[in-house]
A and B are shown apart, each in its own frame.
Chain A
Amino acid sequence: MYEFEYRRPASVPEAVEMLRDREGAKALAGGMSLLSAMKLRLASPDVLVDLGRIEGMSGIRLEGAEVRIGAMTRHAQVAASAEVGKAIPALADLAGRIGDRQVRNRGTLGGSLANSDPAACYPAAVLGLDARIETDRRSIAAEAFFIDLFETALQSGELITAVRFPVPRSAAYVKFHQPASRFALVGVFVAVTGSGEVRVAVTGAGPVVFRAASIESALAREFSAAAAGAAAVSAQGLNSDMHGDADYRAHLIPVLAARAVAQILERQG
């Protein structure tokens, strides 16, 4: 780790101020991604602005047909939340299977989204549920938020404050582990929204989370595991590494989508 300055603001405006002040400043949430990158000397922020003591940045509230989750809410809190468990069980389930216990007790929703790791789980839920990302200055639709590998619509120094998840009719997330990191080699989030739209969001497979159009249209015609499993997904542009080439990832997408649909149908009884 290189030397850095450590700061701990008490409010969002103060944090934004600190981030604007210094070019090499970076927000610190759970530190599960950022600190590892610093230890490996891949990141070297001059200033760390720790969001951990800001009041009101974490917490879960049911607001009408939405669940609002503060950016600093830990994965373990989402996993254990009765509100989330009732309104969007797939989201609680997703959070409960991120990393290990230590990671879930430190890592945050905002940190995960801002990081936009291609293999992260939350982006699939955000895109699959058509959530909105609230920041210190605006509200961004999921579709517009995720841009590319580790790249989001966030401006420099812009802070995520919360995420609003519309409550779906039903949803499920199926994750296939990368054997070493246990992140998603491929993760598929299938949701039937309040208005009945079927959305299928895929993480791990491409440089950034995306919707699988072919599976969505197959499911719009017939909402069954078989329909999802039979849809073809192109390997074009998908990730290749030692744990899976683009073909393997493309092959896994409908396989996992079919499992997610089966879970949804099973839950509906």
Chain B
Amino acid sequence: MSTKWFGAAIPRRQDARLVRGEGRFLDDIVLPRMAHVAFVRSLHPNAALGAIDAATAMQVPGVLEVVSHADLGEAGRPFLQLLPHHGLASATWSALAPGRVCFAGEAIAAVAAESFAAAQLAAEAVAVEYRTSAPIIDLESAQRPDSPLVHPDIPRNLAMHMVEQCGDVEAALRSAPHRLKERFRITRGGGMPLEPRGVIADYDLNRRELTVWSSTQEPHTVRNTIATMLGLQRHMVRVIAPDTGGGFGTKINVYPEEILVPWLAMRLGRPVKWVETRSEHMLSATQEREQIHDIEVGFDESGRLLALKNVFYHDMGAYAPRGGAVPHNTSAALIGPYRIPNVRSEIAAVYTNTATVSAYRGAGQPQGVFVIERAMDRIAAHLGRDPAEVRRVNTILSDAFPYDTGLTNLLGGAVEYESGDFLGTLDKALELADYAGLRARQVEARKAGRYFGIGIANYVELPGRGPWAGGGVRVEHDGSVPVYTGAPSQGQGHETTMAQICADQLGVSIDRIKVLAGDTALIAHGIGTFASRFGVLGGNAVRLSALEVKEKILRIAGEMLETSVADLEIEDGKVSIVGVPDKSLSFEAVARKALRAAGPDGEEPGLEATRYFKTSNITYSNGTHIATVEVEPATGQVQVLKYFLAHDCGRVINPMIVEGQIMGGIACGIGNALLEEHAYNSEGQLQTGSFMDYAMPRAADMLEIHMVHQETPSTLNPLGIKGVGEAGTIPVPAVICSAIEDALRPLGVKINEAPLPPFRLWKLIRAAAKAA
């Protein structure tokens, strides 16, 4: 195989269309006789529901229907647990709140009307009787025996208690020359796609077919869930994800609205649309990151880690649509690129009366990286060593792969790093940043009374999550090549990367290839786009299909040219005999022949294959980020000055897309480090209901990013790809907080939490000054 396309920096194919405003997003879809939906959402975080009175609402002109849980019948039962696993006390949501609400913002009733304005007006007129109880908001006290319960049948609000370990931590801690204990805290944020969620459903009574458009990262899962919940056969439900204006994890779960809207469409016998408002997104879309970690590390004189003990609380919010996937990721990411012979990681995941927690770009990994990287800095400070050197002595060496960390992943497999050059990225990043030069600058800055800091963070990402993904390839009789998958893109660039892989494998120009995605009618099975998985799995599935089609092309061409397949080669959509370039056949000719020649004894018609790539394990990407900051102690304001990184995501399909993914990831990470925070007060009311209070990074918060790629192929798939979608985000809170602590070292400020908006950092600075 030539690699003409794989590895090339081809601009993303969807960009021109989207930048010109030619995208077709969910809200652009308008169907005849379409009704609109508005939800009545709970004002209280923990309440039993009494009467729901819709009499006044029904009087509003244009109102068609007001429904609550009692109307739903079977469709109102709790969703099935996705990813059920051992030790999980499961709690899943329902299409509408079933008699009680678990967070402020949970949908209690839905109004369908001729217009959205009428639906909204009527929703306000629905009177709901609440019998409120005290909510539990605080993560730490949720486990106490006297805490209010989020779900009456789940004692101590404990969703999951799990211990992961290797070696003997207690013994290793006892005998370690040095020990440190710390508490770290990461606060809750949430994915903020420009385009909020939305669903349209259209039921064809005549054909008994339901078509649903949803702004989702997982159309097949939405289809399967709708079929199950509404009692339909899967093949009668088609789910389409149109152009999607960002996902960031907030669109991976199947939400109550994705059942309710189709149910309403079937009930009303007309198409129904719901588009989430930004306020609804803030209140009811999934959020993530809140954790508290109590860690203890034991280490020797050189800073080498001998033992790591970590107990952490993870906030699940109200429900667990994916079980403990997020905290489990944290546990796995905790190890990073380091050799740690004795590890004990204990997770206590608890329900609280807040919006549901599920994956948000990085999904638990930023927290794990934050914890281990803060520990690295503390060890360095404790020993008076350079933080880069302490990381170096702990790094897994290149000859140790495959490297078994001794822990297990969520699929039950070993957390085994298949390949890598972890010192490679550390060295490359240090060199790129001119680390010694930065330290010299710091000396100068400190002399001048400025608070200049350098931060370092390593990470190992867990992308390429299995178990499988599919991708089909077809050569049409006009020579065009559709490639189809189940996983839609929310900016990842599948339209381009899948085409690049297919082009090389098949031997055809990328211009002939069109990637179709995000429609369950295209391919029978799909899992979706999340966890930096699709490049790895979808890419390898497309490779398998392309190879199968190529074999058939060669077989048919061999017959046509009366030569053996071994003497044939394919280039640029033409099959020719090696050494006889003028004797060639176009793909079009072969494709036509493949249809005509089909007969009782010959080949089956067509040039088409749909294969699925399976994997038994996750791939592991890694990298090193370095940032410099300057802090203004008088205000707590942080300015990120420079940013350097070296990363390794295996073989790079398209460096331009990889760079874009990383830069976008860093923007998100800067938000996580310095700005983004969802806050609830003790009454369970969200304080950050709009962008007036939820602080997002903006263009001015971004800076020039210097990066180098290192390519250590994965050994788990033939293309050697590892995945990169979340890599940009994962280490950023760690690296920025590392730099802030470094900047404020003369003041003795310790950074044990993220994010650090000015007010919070100023409080830490003031507390350190008072203590001094």
A252 to B675, CA, bound (A): 19
Known: A40-B279, A248-B762. A179 touches B695 (CB 8 A): yes
CB-based contact B634/A255 at 8 Å: yes
Task: Give min CB distance, B602 to chain A, whole Å.
Answer: 65
Known: A242-B679, A242-B687. A179 touches B635 (CB 8 A): no
Question: Please, which residues of chain B bring their CB within 8 A of the CB of A2?
Answer: 121
B256 within 8 A of A: no
CB-based contact B635/A252 at 8 Å: yes
A195 within 8 A of B: no
B696 within 8 A of A: yes
- Contact pick for B696, options A40, A180, A242, A245, CB 8 Å: A180
Q: Mark A235-264, 1 if CB is under 8 A from B, else 0.
A: 000000011110010011001000000000
| Those of B17-74 within 8 Å (CB) of chain A | none
Question: Please, which residues of chain A bring their CB within 8 A of the CB of B690?
Answer: 40
B664 within 8 A of A: no
Task: Give min CB distance, A260 to chain B, whole Å.
Answer: 14
CB-based contact B695/A180 at 8 Å: yes
Q: Mark A90-107, 1 if CB is under 8 A from B, else 0.
A: 000000000000000000
A242 to B758, CA, bound (A): 11
Question: Please, which residues of chain A bring their CB within 8 A of the CB of B762?
Answer: 248, 251
Question: Please, which residues of chain A bring their CB within 8 A of the CB of B121?
Answer: 2
- Contact pick for B757, options A3, A41, A179, A181, CB 8 Å: A179
The residue of chain B having its C-beta at the shortest distance from the C-beta of A182 within the complex is B698
Known: A2-B121, A242-B687, A255-B635. A179 touches B692 (CB 8 A): no
A43 within 8 A of B: no
Known: A40-B279, A179-B757, A179-B758. A242 touches B693 (CB 8 A): yes
Task: Give min CB distance, A107 to chain B, whole Å.
Answer: 15
CB-based contact B117/A1 at 8 Å: yes
The residue of chain B having its C-beta at the shortest distance from the C-beta of A2 within the complex is B121
B694 within 8 A of A: yes
Question: Please, which residues of chain A bring their CB within 8 A of the CB of B637?
Answer: 176
B691 within 8 A of A: yes
CB-based contact A179/B117 at 8 Å: no
B401 within 8 A of A: no
- Contact pick for A180, options B124, B279, B694, CB 8 Å: B694
Task: Give min CB distance, B490 to chain A, whole Å.
Answer: 24
Question: Please, which residues of chain B bring their CB within 8 A of the CB of A176?
Answer: 635, 637, 758
A251 to B757, CA, bound (A): 16
Task: Give min CB distance, B282 to chain A, whole Å.
Answer: 12
CB-based contact A248/B696 at 8 Å: no
A245 to B120, CA, bound (A): 36
CB-based contact A179/B675 at 8 Å: yes
Question: Please, which residues of chain B bring their CB within 8 A of the CB of A245?
Answer: 759
Q: Mark B733-772, 1 if CB is under 8 A from A, else 0.
A: 0000000000000000000000001110011000000000
Question: Please, which residues of chain B bring their CB within 8 A of the CB of A41?
Answer: 120, 124
A244 to B674, CA, bound (A): 15
The residue of chain B having its C-beta at the shortest distance from the C-beta of A243 within the complex is B759
CB-based contact B634/A243 at 8 Å: no
Q: Mark B104-136, 1 if CB is under 8 A from A, else 0.
A: 000000000000010011001000000000000
A176 to B758, CA, bound (A): 10
Task: Give min CB distance, A99 to chain B, whole Å.
Answer: 12
Task: Give min CB distance, B575 to chain A, whole Å.
Answer: 57
Task: Give min CB distance, B673 to chain A, whole Å.
Answer: 12
Known: A1-B117, A2-B121, A243-B759. A180 touches B691 (CB 8 A): yes
The residue of chain A having its C-beta at the shortest distance from the C-beta of B698 within the complex is A182
The residue of chain B having its C-beta at the shortest distance from the C-beta of A39 within the complex is B277
A50 to B694, CA, bound (A): 31
A239 to B677, CA, bound (A): 20
Known: A1-B117, A243-B759. A180 touches B693 (CB 8 A): yes
The residue of chain A having its C-beta at the shortest distance from the C-beta of B674 within the complex is A179
Q: Mark A1-15, 1 if CB is under 8 A from B, else 0.
A: 111000000000000
Question: Please, which residues of chain B bring their CB within 8 A of the CB of A244?
Answer: 758-759
The residue of chain B having its C-beta at the shortest distance from the C-beta of A244 within the complex is B759
Task: Give min CB distance, A165 to chain B, whole Å.
Answer: 29
A41 to B280, CA, bound (A): 14
The residue of chain A having its C-beta at the shortest distance from the C-beta of B124 within the complex is A41
CB-based contact B117/A243 at 8 Å: no
| Those of B656-699 within 8 Å (CB) of chain A | 674-675, 677, 679, 687-688, 690-696
Question: Please, which residues of chain B bring their CB within 8 A of the CB of A242?
Answer: 677, 679, 687-688, 693, 759
Question: Please, which residues of chain B bring their CB within 8 A of the CB of A243?
Answer: 693, 757, 759
A240 to B69, CA, bound (A): 40
A41 to B763, CA, bound (A): 36
Task: Give min CB distance, A250 to chain B, whole Å.
Answer: 12
Q: List 30 A-B contacts (CB under 8 A).
A: A1-B117, A3-B117, A40-B279, A41-B124, A176-B635, A176-B758, A179-B674, A179-B675, A179-B695, A179-B757, A179-B758, A180-B692, A180-B694, A180-B696, A181-B692, A181-B693, A242-B677, A242-B679, A242-B687, A242-B688, A243-B693, A243-B757, A243-B759, A245-B759, A248-B759, A248-B763, A251-B762, A252-B635, A255-B634, A255-B635
Which B positions have Cβ atoms within 8 angstroms of A?
117, 120-121, 124, 279, 634-635, 637, 674-675, 677, 679, 687-688, 690-696, 757-759, 762-763
Which A positions have Cβ atoms within 8 angstroms of B?
1-3, 40-41, 176, 179-181, 242-245, 248, 251-252, 255
Besides A244-B759, A248-B759, 14 more A-B contacts (Cβ < 8 Å) are A2-B121, A40-B279, A41-B120, A41-B124, A179-B675, A179-B758, A180-B691, A180-B695, A242-B693, A243-B693, A243-B757, A244-B758, A248-B762, A255-B634
For the complex of A and B, list the 5 residue pairs with the smallest distance between their C-beta atoms, beginning with the closest: A180-B695, A179-B695, A181-B692, A244-B759, A255-B634
